[in-house]
Amino acid sequence: MSQIIISVGREFGSGGRVIAEELAKRFNLPIYDRHLITEIAEKTGLSTDEIEALDEAPKSRLTSRRVRGFSNSIEDNIAEMQFDFIRKKAESGESFVVVGRCSESKLRDFDCLVSLFIIGDMKAKIKRVMEIYDMDEEEAEDFISKKDKKRKRYHNYHVGLHWGDSRLYDLTVNSSRLGIDKTIDFLETYIKARMSK
């Protein structure tokens, strides 16, 4: 396979982003995650902080409207710009890793797509979030729940299918079972098998 696109969806705190970064390193591929934010910031003149606040966020239903495919919501337009960006990259023949952005559905027409969804046990996710964000247990659980709710609404609105539904992905993996490193090893083997097909 000359082109490979690895799409990594993830629950918050599951280590999905770290897994995506490591896979990008092992396969020597560019990764589109934070890069997508700076790309859009440059294009819109908004700051990266402003884009980050609107990134992978659902629109407010009360302050936005959609007319014949046009939307006044900045969240919607940022999402559309990101979808266009990854689609153009895919169409250009580039191989890359992309984190989130409904990429498993937006790029599903590409045979070279390997779509992964990383989940984790709540206890493990809380522990991880407590360490990274310096939070207590209750705060971490609340934070995870809010982030996942936001991602779910964003995904379901733009795709119309359920976020995390295993039928959307090639593999859904619980990173708490093998730990982050061994999960990466496992996924590397799977991707290599797909590439040699």
Partner 1 sequence: MLAAQIFAVIIFIAMFLMIVLDKIERHFVTLGCGLLTLVVVFGICMRSGSAIWQTLAVRDFVKPDFWYQVTESESKGINWATIVFIAGMMIMVEGMAKAGFFRWLCMKIAFLVKCRTIPVFITFMIMSSVLSMFIDSITVIMFLAAVTIELAQLLHFNPVPMILSEIFCANLGGSATMCGDPPNIIVGTSLGFSFFDFLTNTGLCAGICLVFTVIFFYFAFKKELAPTSNEPVDIAQLPKPSTAITNKKDFIVSSIIFGLAVVLLVSHSATHLTVATIGTVIAVITLIANAKDALELLKKVDYKTLLFFVGLFIVVGGLEETGILKYIADFIGDISGGNAYIMVAIILWVSALASAFVDNIPFAATMVPIIQSLAATTGVPIATLAWTLSLGTDIGGSATPIGASANVVGTSVAAKNGYPVSWGRYCAKLAPATVIVLVISTVYVFARYL
Q: Binding residues for partner 1, per CB under 8 A? A: 43-46, 61-68, 70-72, 74, 77-78, 80-81
> Minimal distance in Å, beta carbon 72 to partner 1?
4
Q: 3-state DSSP call for residue 3?
A: coil
> Minimal distance in Å, beta carbon 153 to partner 1?
11
Give the pairing of strands 70-71 and 66-67. antiparallel
> Minimal distance in Å, beta carbon 52 to partner 1?
14
CA pseudo-torsion sign 5, 90, 112, 172: positive
The residues that bridge with 70 in the sheet, in sequence order, are 67
19 vs 51, which CB is nearer to partner 1? 51
- Please count the other Cβ atoms lying within 10 Å of the Cβ belonging to residue 25: 12
> Minimal distance in Å, beta carbon 49 to partner 1?
14
Give the pairing of strands 31-32 and 171-174. unpaired
45 vs 93, which CB is nearer to partner 1? 45
Closest CA to 32 of 10, 13, 12, 8: 8
59 vs 125, which CB is nearer to partner 1? 59
83 vs 186, which CB is nearer to partner 1? 83
> Minimal distance in Å, beta carbon 93 to partner 1?
25
58 vs 120, which CB is nearer to partner 1? 58
The secondary structure of 83-133 as a DSSP string is HHHHHHHHHTT--EEEESTTHHHHTTT-TTEEEEEEE--HHHHHHHHHHHH
